[in-house]
Structure formats: structure tokens, C-alpha cells
Amino acid sequence: MTLDAINKVVITEDGSSTLYNPTINEHYHSSFGAIQESNHVFIQTGLDLLVSKQKPIKIFEVGFGTGLNALLTYAWTRKNKIRTFYECVESNPISLKLAAQLNYPGLLNLDAEIFLKIHQDYEDLISISENFVIHKHFTSIQEIILPEGHFDLVFFDAFSPEIQPEMWTEDIFKKIALAMKSGGILTTYSSKGIVKRALKAAGFKIEKLPGPPGKREILRAVKSS
């Protein structure tokens, strides 16, 4: 069965849409607000810290999903005029037809064609604008080979540890840490004990931060060396 047949478009409390997968009983974003959550966890807690970095920013996302984090990053590059390279993995991409049903472009006052372009052409380097280039890999974090010391920022946005425990392990975080620059930042919505322990074991210094509405805490982790 395809993701289009499984996933249902639902509206979250801030008016933005997300997808709900009833087979695993999991939303792609917080039901309290998809845009609100992604802005808080990934943009304000992570990307905004790099606004003074006057050279290209390299981002890696685990779990491209709906493409919301990528779209918010594109909007951020328009505002801040900082060239950004966005790389991600997704082993179960949604279709363009399903992506077109998500209301993010309208709520963010962005061109819907830009959002659809972000979803197109896996394995190709796509220049969305002068300041935003995206490269999506149709594979898993376990299978991809990552360059060492490459990324400034990581958005870790897999399904929850209860649904995808294999994603939230020490080995996965060690692999990601090797691909990050010294002082690189990883942000994620999960602050569960197993996640904190795995990040610490992988050599990250973690910081608990207030979460968005509906969530008490989130994590920001920094590669210490």
C-alpha cells in the first residue's frame, strides 16, 4: 500500500496541515501546530543561531517527510540572504499529489510551486533559489555514506522512538556526529531519556530547552569535538 493510500491530511491547532499515518498511529508533526512546532524546534532553536555565519551553511535532515522543515529553511534563506545547502534522507517519500494538499505555502506566503519543486527529483542537486540548494537521498540514515566534518546543523526529525527505535541509537548519533563540524548543532523534538543517553554516548553535549505548545521539553545537542 502506498503512503498516499495510508496517510491522511489533518489540520493542526495552528491551522497548518500535517499527515497522520493510522497504521502506526503517528502524526508527521505535532497536532498542536505543525508550523509552530517546526519553527520552534528547528528554526528558532537551531538555524537562527547561525544567522551571523557569513558563509554557506550546510544542513542535514533525518526524515524529510512533508518537506515543511525544508520549506521553512528556504523562507529563512530568503529573509537572511545566506547561502544554504540542504541535504536529507527519506526512505518513504510522499507523492507530489499528496504534497500539494498541504497548506504550508499559503500560510507562509510562499509560492506553492516552490514547495512542489522542493519535493521533486530525488538524488539530484536542485537549486531552488540563489541561496537555497537541496539534495534529497532516497535511502535511510543507516545506508547512506556521509562525508566527515561536513554539516553545521542537523535536523533530527524521525518518527518517535516508540515507533522507530532503530533511528534513535548511539550508533546512529555517532554516524551523524562524524559527519558534523566541531561545534555543529543537532536539534530534535524528542527529549526522552533514551535519546539523551544515546546523544551523550555519541559525544554530544545536550541542552534541554522549553518545547513548543503541547510539549514540555526539546533537545539541542552540540558536537563537542
The predicted pLDDT at position 167 comes to: 97
Architecture of the domain whose range is 34-223: 3-Layer(aba) Sandwich (3.40)
CA 21 to chain centre: 18
The predicted pLDDT at position 210 comes to: 96
203: left (phi over 0), alpha (psi -120 to 50) or beta: left
The predicted pLDDT at position 165 comes to: 96
In the numeric block, the cell 491551522 is attached to 15
In the numeric block, the cell 554557506 is attached to 56
Q: Which amino acid is at 105?
A: P
The predicted pLDDT at position 40 comes to: 98
The predicted pLDDT at position 198 comes to: 98
Q: Which amino acid is at 175?
A: K
DSSP 93: P
Angle at 138 between CA 30 and CA 44, to 5 degrees: 35
Q: How many residues does the chain have?
A: 225
26: β partners: 21
Beta strand ranges found along the chain (DSSP E): 8-11, 17-21, 26-27, 57-62, 84-89, 125-129, 132-137, 151-156, 180-188, 204-210, 217-223
The predicted pLDDT at position 53 comes to: 77
Q: Which residues contact 4 (CB under 8 A, 6 or more apart)?
A: 94, 95, 97, 98
What are the domain boundaries of the chain? 34-223
The answer to whether 153 and 69 have CB atoms below 8 angstroms apart is: no
Q: Return per-residue pLDDT of the chain as tens, 225 residues.
A: 456 768 999 999 999 999 999 999 999 999 999 999 999 999 999 999 999 876 899 999 999 999 999 999 999 999 999 999 999 999 999 999 999 999 999 999 999 999 999 999 898 999 999 999 999 999 999 999 999 999 999 999 999 999 999 999 999 999 999 999 999 999 999 999 999 999 999 999 999 999 999 999 999 999 987
Quick one: three-class SS letters along 168-199? CCHHHHHHHHHCEEEEEEEEECCCCHHHHHHH
The predicted pLDDT at position 3 comes to: 65
The pTM score is: 0.96
Q: How many CB atoms lie within 10 A of CB 104?
A: 22
